Amino acid sequence: LLPLLRVLVSTGLLCAEAGRFKNSAEAAQFLVRGQTGYIGGVHELWNDLWRAELQTARSVRSGVPQVIHDYAAMSSDEIRALLRGLRSGSIAAARALMAARDLSGVRRLLDVGGGPGGLALTFAEQFPWMCAAVVALDIVREAPAGAYDVAVCNRFIQVLAPDDAARAIANVATALEPGGALYIMGHILDDGGFEPPAAVSYGLFALNVFRGGQAFTEQQHREWLKAAGLVDITRELLPNGYSLMSARKL
């Protein structure tokens, strides 16, 4: 056990004092189950990411993603592992959006492609009067039922092919009340294609697992949002390296 403890000290996850070991401040905040910042399940997501990126050479040579994420074909265990890996990121995205926008007056929120529902649940806990729904239907093929004040696409548009992304945004827009807002969060490239670094890196992962999914550029997002009839389109970089694009329905 001692070699492992020494490595954890060297990486800053543990502190050593008088022959005893304890959590560092970072470990206490992020790696203790029950803490608000807990990210313990994310290792399953990173395992998926690194396994996929090791297939990059084969994906490039063949022109076909070698570790395709076909959610319909995944086993129950694979789906559960994926959702556990996504949950902490969904919660963090909700908190980042709360910090960037005052959503205290929102009554109905739609979490598009919300997976484990971490974003919707976080909003519902913070604002008990809010009705937060997670859409599970194929948003590319049909618009969700109901009318919402806010819709959030967190790390969702980036898994779709360009034409599907355009259709998904159009369908979400139809579910917004007049004056309602659409927020797209995730990896969005500058128009030059080389920044921010996290979005560039995501492209390598997407190359291996999605048929057409990518970190799309800001301009591509603007075109899709405009085509959906949305206005007041803005983009900003969040502290976690993700982008937030905002638009409003007339």
141-176: per-residue pLDDT in tens?
Answer: 999 999 999 999 999 999 999 999 999 999 999 999
- Tens-place pLDDT, residues 69-100: 877 777 888 778 777 777 878 988 999 999 99
* Residues 103, 6 within the same domain: no
Which token pair is 100? Answer: 């960037």
* Residues 5, 109 within the same domain: no
Contact 186, 198 (CB under 8 A): no
Looking at residue 80, its pLDDT comes to: 80
* Residues 119, 84 within the same domain: yes
Looking at residue 137, its pLDDT comes to: 67
- Which structural domain, as residue segments, surrounds residue 43? 39-249
Buried b (16+ CB within 10 A) or exposed e, 168-205: bbbbbbebbeeebbbbbbbbbbbeeeeebeebeebbeb
Quote the CA–CA distance of 232 and 93 in Å, as a whole number.
22
Helix 218-227 × helix 162-174 angle, to 10°: 40
* Residues 46, 167 within the same domain: yes
* Residues 177, 239 within the same domain: yes
* Residues 33, 101 within the same domain: no
**Low-confidence spans in the chain with pLDDT less than 50:** none
Looking at residue 81, its pLDDT comes to: 75
Contact 180, 149 (CB under 8 A): yes
* Residues 126, 22 within the same domain: no
